[in-house]
Structure 1
Amino acid sequence: MMAKRALSSQFVTVCVSALISFSAHAANLTVGYQTGIDPSKVPQADGVYEKTIGEKIDWRRFNSGPEVVTAIASGDVQIGNLGSSPLAAAASRNLPIVAFIVSAQINAAEALVVRDGSGINTPQDLVGKTIATPFVSTSHYSLLGALKHWGLDTSKVKVVNLQPAEIAAAWKRGDIDGAFVWSPALGEIRKTGKTLTDAAQVGQWGAPTFEVWVARKDYAEKHPEVVAKFAKVTLDAFADYASHKDSWTADSAPVQKIAKLTGANAADVPELLAGSAFPDAKAQQTTALLDGGTAKAIGETAKFLKEQGKVETVLPDYSPYVSAKFITE
């Protein structure tokens, strides 16, 4: 079953062929989203994207980035949210997509939590233990980065491929000793576990992670105004959060909407929001992000994935997979 979920090169090649041959059209837009906690969930809940774009949107929820990639490649989804690791894997296999917003710079929003009573108190205690994470996700990348930093051979730790909901269930059954994951699963397992490290710390060790909104290139070329409006609604949400952070409490309307849409506990949402950075329009267009830095970071991620045997090829330049042209201040 795990092999079935893996983002195999052969399958992605088939998906790339399907995407290239698929003709984008101006019909209803389908957007793939995940359960990550971010301010743009508020306009999603309020229907602001539909009102601004002027057409119906079919919002489809996915468990992980690789699932979003598969849906985009098949033509079922035109715009999707995924992390830097599945983005690097997809771009390395020449999937024609373009990242047009860095939707989150992940810090404490993803973490490695170990079970109380598992006997894991230090990184060395991970040897022989079972740790779950969704394969080829940002959490997987962070986990591998942490193991590398600690000098632990991945063959000495049993890393298993589970989706977030499966992680929460496996944790309750006692099937796993720890997990590197995001919320709402992260919030659940933290109740009976402790954090060994998080994405912020792993980023300081040389393996930063982030999330993006991507569009199929054919759709973006035919409907640039739709992508631009989607970007504006998202960035307006980021700006609103930045201006009113203190009022986004557990019982506030924005936090309640995020909790309802993602399945997270409202009490956890303010802390989870604080666990990521949401770059504004000006920051998006700098050399640190969409004007160079993001493409470079994708390349570094791809190199690491190649070392781990997750991708076969690293491209010389990832800039064709990133664009700031859809952002207007």
Structure 2
Amino acid sequence: MQIKKKKLIVTFLMSFLIVLTACSSGETNATLPEKVNIGYLRVPNDEMIAKSQAYFEKYYEDKGIETNFIVFDSGVEANQAFASGSVDFASMGHTNGVVALSRGIPVELIWLHEILGETEGLAVREGAGISSLQDLKGKKIATTFASTSHYSLLQILKEERIEDQVELLDMQTVDIVAAWERGDIDAAYTWQPSLGALLDKGNILISSKEISEMGHQTANIVLARKAFTEEYPELTVDFIAGLVEGGDFYRGNPEEATVISADALGITPEEATIQMEGSLWLTPKEEISSDYIGTSEQVGGFSKVMKESSDFLQGQGLIPKSPSQEEFDTFINPEFVEMYLERED
């Protein structure tokens, strides 16, 4: 009896140590998800390169996790997917991040893809008689509501004091291109590659780079489902690592990166070059600088950009209530970029 008791005690202790070891590792194969759902936009950025080069699979497949990509035409669609719990990460313009927070969707901002510049702009149709912003009066202008393009357009219309003298039409990018081809609209504020499709019959009147210089910064961001990031912090860091590899590839091999992006988007390398050079891509260290998302100890300046955008959107009646600055400070979570940098050290 005594020997049997000792054996039982030893067996119990060994089992306890195995469980303890598994718990200490955080995410074990037994607890990992079957797949990671990644929503992306058809824009040439770090995510597009990472997707094309299979960088995400590099981190997930060895763990037995499928990488499932879902293309969204806008952040509106991405937020709908987040609300239903059908996506873990998704890209969108920062204004749709504002919408997500204002609606109480359980997500957080974990990465800035790029600070937008010439990759977004206001195209005007040839023959529409538009050579200045004041000429927009009485014209039909299409954009995707609640997007960064919509935000930038509203800012310049307000600056020119003509916001009540134009007809704004809410369209997805594919519909903007179709309406342009039919001649149904006079102008459109949209992003690449849709913007490039309009230039055969028009030209750019003003870009988001110029609007940013006026003090109205816009960016494409990554939101993550909080239930996922809380349960799988290391898998979230893996996602960040894939984005970093995409950005590093572009910085180290710009010509090859433009060809990869062009192939993925069905555009020419020349068009891809214009689009990729028309925005600012951030390194991980730049991400957590005081100008952008900041650190766990010090909130970055992008939180104020989000708040200013939010107040503007509320003033336009696009969201019912603007979240507080403190809510935006909490909404932006630099923890996973910091964990990535610690991992690399």
Task: Tell me the TM-score normalised to structure 1 length.
Answer: 0.87
Larger helix proportion of the pair: 2
The answer as to 2:38 corresponding to 1:31 is: yes
Per-residue CA distance 1:244-266 (angstroms, 9 max, x = gap):
33xx1xxx4x3233123233333
Which string of whole-angstrom CA distances, capped at 9 and with x for unpartnered residues, describes residues 122-175 of structure 1? 1111011011101100100010011112221x2210110111111111111000
Q: 2:315 aligns with which of 289, 307, 311?
A: 307
Q: Does 1:298 align with 2:302?
A: no
Work out which of the two has the higher radius of gyration on C-alpha atoms and give 1 or 2. 2
Establish whether residue 138 from structure 1 lines up as the match of residue 148 from structure 2. Answer: yes
Quick one: which of 174, 177, 185 aligns to 1:176? 185
Question: 1:239: Cα distance to partner?
Answer: 2.1
Determine if contact 1:149/1:205 at 8 Å carries over to the other structure: no
The question of whether the paired residues in 2 share the 8 Å contact of 1:183 and 1:264 is answered with: no
Identify which of 147, 151, 165 aligns with 2:157.
147
Counterpart Cα distance in 2 of 1:133 and 1:265? 24
Conserved 8 A contact 1:184-1:263: no
AA aligned opposite 1:82: M
> 2:286 is matched with which residue?
283
Is 1:196 matched with 2:199?
A: no
> Paired residue for 1:207, among 202, 216, 225?
216
1:121 maps onto 2:131 in alignment? yes
Q: 1:238 aligned to 2:241?
A: no
In structure 1, which of residues 94, 106, 125 is the aligned counterpart of residue 104 of structure 2? 94
The amino acid of 2:110's aligned partner reads: F
Structure 1 gaps of 5+ residues are 1-23
Task: Identify unmatched segments of 5+ residues in structure 2.
Answer: 1-30, 295-299
In the alignment, what sits opposite 1:74? Answer: 84
SS at match of 1:91: helix
Identical amino acids, percent of aligned pairs? 29
Q: Map 1:226-265; keep pairs closer than 5 Å.
A: 226-245=235-254, 248=255, 252=256, 254-265=257-268
Asked whether the equivalents of residues 228 and 326 of structure 1 are also in contact (C-alpha less than 8 Å), the reply is yes
User: In 2, distance between residues paired with 1:319 and 1:262?
Assistant: 35
Q: Judge conservation of contact 1:168–1:188 (CA < 8 Å) in 2.
A: yes
Q: Contact 1:187 / 1:264 at 8 angstroms: preserved in 2?
A: no
* In 1, Cα distance between equivalents of 2:175 and 2:266: 14
Q: How far, CA to CA, are the matches of 2:266 and 2:120 in structure 1?
A: 16
Q: How high is the TM-score relative to the length of structure 2? A: 0.84
Cα deviation 1:286-309 (Å, max 9, x = unaligned): 121111222221111100101111
Q: How far does the alpha carbon of each residue in 1:256-277 deviate from its partner, in whole angstroms, 9 at most, with x for none?
A: 3312323333320011000010
Task: Give the Cα–Cα distance (whole angstroms) in 2 for the partners of residues 44 and 265 of structure 1.
Answer: 19
* 1:266 pairs with one of 269, 272, 294: 269
Pick 1 or 2: higher relative contact order, CA cutoff 8 A, min separation 6. 1
The one-letter amino acid of 2:317's match is G
Distance 1:272 1:121 in 2: 23
The count of aligned residue pairs is: 299
- Alignment match, 1:10: none
Larger mean Cα displacement after TM superposition, 127-136 or 89-98? 89-98
**What's the secondary structure of 1:233's corresponding residue?**
helix
Q: Deviations over 1:48-71 (max 9, x none)?
A: 201212321111111111111111
Deviation per CA, 1:10-47: give whole Å up to 9, x if none.
xxxxxxxxxxxxxx972311111011221331220122
